Chain A
Amino acid sequence: MTDGRHPDVELTGYAAEALTPAERARVETHLDACADCRRAVQEHRAVLATLAAEASTPPPIDWGRYQADLRARRERAGRRRWWARPWPAVLAAGVAAAIVLLAVHGLDRRPGELATVEETVLGARLPMLQQYRVVERLDLLEDLDAIRQLDRFGHGS
């Protein structure tokens, strides 16, 4: 403004009464000396005043139906989003974590390792097996058929 240029953006702000007192004072100083900007402000004001005087008037609406529809949408949204509530989310997360853990441990097992069920059976038999002198080779422990045979010997003895 002080360099002789027209303060275009500020002129609109001035017409819209959107300036701070300091900005307003600067614009008014410029307007005192610039007829073009005074005319621009008048035109800006005319545009804004015309629009403001004829504010939007939308087609009439049935507010009772509007509220009823909104209530129905709210209820539909509530039903559809039941899974987003905290307790089902926690439950679902727990189930998912269990599935992932099982899958990872199942896949992670290298060939040759005993399966979980077999380990459990073998673990239950170990105290009894320790009583058998016939068990001299540890690799027999990996053979469930041999263990079953030993069981029979054990019960028979």
Chain B
Amino acid sequence: MTQESSDEALCRRVAAGDDAAFDLLVARHQGRAYRLAWSLLRDAEDARDVSQEAFLRVYRTAGSFRGDARFSTWFYRILVNLCLDHRRRGSWWRRLLVRDDGAGAPEGALLDRQPAPVADPGDRIERAQMTSRLWAAVDRLTPQQRAVIVLHVQEELPTSQIATVLGCSEATVRVHLHRAVTTLRGVVRRD
């Protein structure tokens, strides 16, 4: 990647009114944005809508990107905040649908998470069930805990960068991570 086509350079061009630069940024980040939004919202239509809104925010506020952090960190911050806001607004009815036994998990969750290939078919089924239960449990974590887990295990961000994305201290991120993993460990132990 040349310096001219770095995310940060593209963002500066967007701020100057270059729509082609914006299209390039979208093409570059749309896959991760949609996947991250889906992991946090567990609804394809919402993920599509919220990730597009995040790009529109970038379009409107590119001039406020100071460049003291990576573009991806700034963009993740916008996107995660939008997802958390979206969940807060919709949580009253989601809580009614998602029951403690995971029966209310979004349809297709089992199919969407294909198990990793292992030798024994019995192991594979057991692993698929466990994975499904774990992700269903992730969906019932607090929004902050869920965001930390997704950003850590899926986006592979270090805790320092997660702290920047969530706008909190690294110590707080570690506490969220600890509480989330402790809860998920309890799900595994109950089996």
The interface of chain A, by Cβ under 8 A from chain B, is: 8-9, 11-13, 15-16, 18, 40, 43-44, 46-48, 50-59, 61, 63, 66-67, 69-71, 73-74, 77
Contact = CB atoms under 8 A, between A and B. Distances in A.
B86 interface: no
B63 interface: no
Interface residues of B, number: 47
Contacts of A51: 131, 134-135, 138, 149, 153-154, 184
A85 to B, nearest CB: 12
Interface in B76-118: 108, 112-116
Contacts of A69: 52
A18 B77 CA distance: 20
B125 to A, nearest CB: 14
B18 interface: no
B181 A12 contact: yes
A66 B35 contact: no
Contact of A70 (B39, B47, B56, B114): B56
Nearest to B31: A63
Contacts of B113: 54, 56-57
19 contacts: A8-B182, A12-B178, A18-B152, A47-B188, A50-B134, A51-B135, A51-B153, A52-B153, A54-B113, A54-B114, A54-B115, A56-B39, A56-B154, A59-B108, A59-B112, A66-B52, A67-B30, A70-B55, A77-B60
Interface in B121-145: 127, 130-131, 134-135, 138
Contacts of B127: 50
Interface of B: 22-23, 26-27, 30, 34-35, 38-39, 44, 47-48, 52, 55-56, 59-60, 108, 112-116, 127, 130-131, 134-135, 138, 149-150, 152-154, 156, 158-159, 174-175, 177-178, 181-182, 184-185, 188-189
A114 B147 CA distance: 70
Residue from the set B114, B177, B189 with the largest chain A CB neighbour count within 10 Å: B177
B41 to A, nearest CB: 10
B67 to A, nearest CB: 23
Contact of B177 (A12, A58, A71, A73): A12
Contact of A47 (B26, B35, B150, B184): B184
A55 B26 contact: no
A19 to B, nearest CB: 9
A46 B188 contact: yes
Contacts of B34: 58, 61, 66
A16 B159 contact: yes
Contacts of B131: 50-51, 53-54
B114 A57 contact: yes
A44 B56 contact: no
Residue from the set B39, B44, B156, B178 with the largest chain A CB neighbour count within 10 Å: B178
